[in-house]
Amino acid sequence: MNLVKRFIALTLALLMLAGLLQVIFAAPKVGDVVDHVLHTDIVTYINGLPIRSYNIKGYTAVIVEDLSNYGFYVVWYGTERELTVRPLASGQLVGGYTPEKNTQPIGSKAMPVYFTDIVTYLDGVKVDSYNVGGRTIIYVDDLAKFYAKDYVWNPEARTLSLTLKGASPGAGSEDNSGSDSSGGPVIEKQPIDCNVKEGDFAIFKVTAAGDGLKYQWQRDERDFKSIIEKLERGDRSSLTDWNWVDLKDDGRTTGANHFELTVLADLETINSGSYRCVITDSDGRTVTSDYASIIPISPGIKITEQPQDKKVKAGEYATLYVGAEGRDLKYQWQELIASYKVYELEDGKQFAGLSYEYKNITDNDKFSGTTTNTLTVKVDTPSQRRFKPKTGSRQEYICLITDRYGMTISSSPAKINSYCEIMITEQPKSVTQTERVPAELNVKAEGDSPLSYRWQFVWLGSWTDIPKDNPKFAGVDTPTLTWNCDSGSFNFRCVVDGPNSEPVISDEVTITYNLPPEDIQIRQPKNFRGRYSEQASFDFAFTNIKVDSLECRWQQKGDDGVWTNLSVTDPTLRLEINSATSGRWYRCTGKVNGRDFTTMPALLEGTLNYRKEGRPYTTWNITTNGSIQWFDLYNYIEGDELTFRWEGHKEKDDPGIFKIIEPEYFNFQCGSETHIIITEVNGAALGISTTGTKGIQPLYKISIIHTFDLYTQARCYVTDKYGEKLVFNVYIEYIEI
């Protein structure tokens, strides 16, 4: 019976509105960029009307909310974050989109595609959905599977055309026409749902045959808020307590006693319930029609301005703004929270991992404007990088925007990048040099890490950066400047800068050399650059005197700026390049022919190298026990101030295809089993977890083995502070338990 079907549908809708708990495994990370929309010249049509569309992975997708203007009924369940789509028996096609000519290269990236926790259903079946520009999108191919009468791709015209099936049996087609064998009114055509814009008139019409027919339209005026409250208490008795009330003609309703009823579609009538008609013939025999509802064509929510990432000093306030158009909009800002969770799987296994979730925030001493279109946030102190990601807030935000119909969309995420203001904690001091030793200036600063330094001196009347290739100077881009001279005086200062803050300039100081004439000339040691694990060497020599006696000792400058004696007393210093020697300064000091001397300092620069026998690859065994396992690239490479870019190849990728590895959380349903796969990236560390690599699922009584789409190879592009690069390959094997 069609009426039974309608009752079941209403019951399910109310249950969803009641917010019944669902079992969810491995909550995905909302807001992750999972792909990109590509520029395309393809135009998509539904029943001959163009509809806005996107190209993702070579497939065409459309916005779910737009379908309400193309013959579909779209319902948003805010509590469950679900969208349901079903076709209207005689849905009004409004369209309203005018295609624009594409001017960008076909296949180039247009905008990011975000992961969303919103679940979309077509006729009760879940389909893939994503978030683009704050809207939920689904593939046109999925629409075609359910609703296509014709589905045509025209490669010459570059058009994709979907023609929907005609009115399907259901709301208006069930045979409820005969009253009984003794005769009576016969309904020839049932009223159907009316899809109109708010402010327009909804028209319900019933066609019947019989003698002396009289019509009485009714509306179900149950208190749906009360029903939901009862459902939340576990009381389902009210689901069958219909409250049909006879209508009368008034300012909003006409035709209450006519075969055609006209109702003004304002917000009150839209939310008030459904309509049916009781038909009575001249003998007093009656028949009751199916009920139909007003389904509003919502103008929708249009985000006109997405919130933007901000760089703000710690302790100050950042403002995020979202611009949107729609009716009676309400706003709720959410913050990204990371937490460790343990999931119980059906096979008794446990899975623990870091879960990311956006959660509502409220006004307090940190936030204001949390329910407006403008959020003000006090910026946290930037956190230090850790090997494993930590729990807590991420200072990343989205805004949920809800219109008067209850439709909710999400803005794009916006991050607040915090930095600390640069502060010079120790100013350089003027130096008057009376010994034949290179003079040093030191500056100490903290703040917007990593800091950079530029020493300047007054040259030809203006402040000028000291050139790196000037042999009289060393450390021109470090916290310590060294100058070797026989006589003279110059003014110096240091410019300290960071990646996000404004530069800070130190005090101006003077180095003055006041030395007697000296005939000793030294061939100074030179900076040395080589790969880690290789050997570096520094030496010096006297060029204009005969060396009768030489006493010398090499020194290394520590992180504290203090020169420390080494054990080497030869004119040549040899060192292995490693983390203890790379990035350090070296000089030699002593006596030649009884005269004191100190060389200019020289810098040892260690570049990237492979740790283990120069091997650029290894095999990584992952046990499929559901716990996250880490691969630490620092065990295989070494170098200074390294940056990393991980790429991966999956089982189902074409040969040779590698894509950027980003954090991802997803589950794979295989029969009654749910397998969870997690990937984490944190600098040199790659983390992977899975609860299995194969699963058996019966299909038409035939067991089929499904292989999960896991990474089989990863490679990391590593760059050091000097711009040197190398690639390390990791071949991944899974050990099932």
CATH C-level class of 423-607: mainly beta
* Per-residue three-class SS string for 260-272: EEEEECCHHHHCC
pLDDT of residue 4: 34
Cα–Cα distances (Å) from 11 to 5, 14, 694, in that order, read 10, 5, 38
- Check pLDDT > 50 for residue 1: no
- The mean per-residue pLDDT over the stretch 168-195 comes to 58
CA distance 203 to 221: 18
Q: Which residue has the higher pLDDT, 14 or 271?
A: 271
pLDDT of residue 705: 43
pLDDT of residue 541: 93
73-82, 283-292, 494-503, 578-587 — which is least confidently predicted? 73-82
CA distance 598 to 436: 7
Q: Which residue has the higher pLDDT, 666 or 334?
A: 334
CA distance 172 to 579: 78
If we measure between CA atoms, which residue out of 262, 263, 274, 286 comes closest to residue 214? 286
Q: Which residue has the higher pLDDT, 89 or 442?
A: 442
Q: How many CB atoms lie within 10 A of CB 323?
A: 13
Residue range 590-649, pLDDT digits in tens: 999 888 889 999 999 999 999 877 789 999 999 888 788 899 999 999 998 898 999 999
Dihedral sign from CA coordinates of 247, 253, 258, 262: negative
Q: Which residue has the higher pLDDT, 384 or 311?
A: 311
- The mean per-residue pLDDT over the stretch 667-683 comes to 71
Q: Which residue has the higher pLDDT, 560 or 477?
A: 477
pLDDT of residue 706: 46
pLDDT of residue 89: 58
Residue range 432-446, pLDDT digits in tens: 988 878 999 999 998
pLDDT of residue 388: 46
224-228, 253-257, 332-336 — which is least confidently predicted? 224-228
pLDDT of residue 173: 31
Residue 9 confidence class, pLDDT cut points 50, 70, 90: very low
- Check pLDDT > 80 for residue 346: no
Residue range 383-415, pLDDT digits in tens: 644 334 556 677 889 999 988 767 788 898 898
pLDDT of residue 237: 56
CATH topology of domain 186-296: Immunoglobulin-like (2.60.40)
CATH C-level class of 610-735: mainly beta
- Check pLDDT > 50 for residue 118: yes
Residue range 722-735, pLDDT digits in tens: 889 999 999 999 88
- The mean per-residue pLDDT over the stretch 134-143 comes to 88
- The full set of domain ranges for the chain reads 2-164, 186-296, 303-405, 423-607, 610-735
Average pLDDT in the chain: 81
- Check pLDDT > 80 for residue 107: no
Residue 172 confidence class, pLDDT cut points 50, 70, 90: very low
- Check pLDDT > 50 for residue 701: no
Domains 186-296 and 610-735 agree in fold: yes
Residue range 255-292, pLDDT digits in tens: 999 999 998 887 666 666 689 999 999 988 988 888 88
pLDDT of residue 571: 94
pLDDT of residue 342: 66
Name the token pair of 232.
């939340």
- Check pLDDT > 70 for residue 341: no
CA 283 to chain centre: 68
- The mean per-residue pLDDT over the stretch 453-474 comes to 91
Residue range 16-25, pLDDT digits in tens: 333 332 332 3
- The mean per-residue pLDDT over the stretch 152-163 comes to 85
CA distance 349 to 553: 63
Contacts of 637 (CB under 8 A, 6+ apart): 608, 609, 610, 611, 684, 718, 726, 728
**Residue 629, Cβ density class (10 Å: 0-12 exposed, 13-18 middle, ≥19 buried):** middle
Residue 229 confidence class, pLDDT cut points 50, 70, 90: low
- The mean per-residue pLDDT over the stretch 460-489 comes to 89
Q: Which residue has the higher pLDDT, 245 or 737?
A: 245
Percent of the chain with pLDDT over 70: 80
If we measure between CA atoms, which residue out of 309, 346, 304 comes closest to residue 676? 346
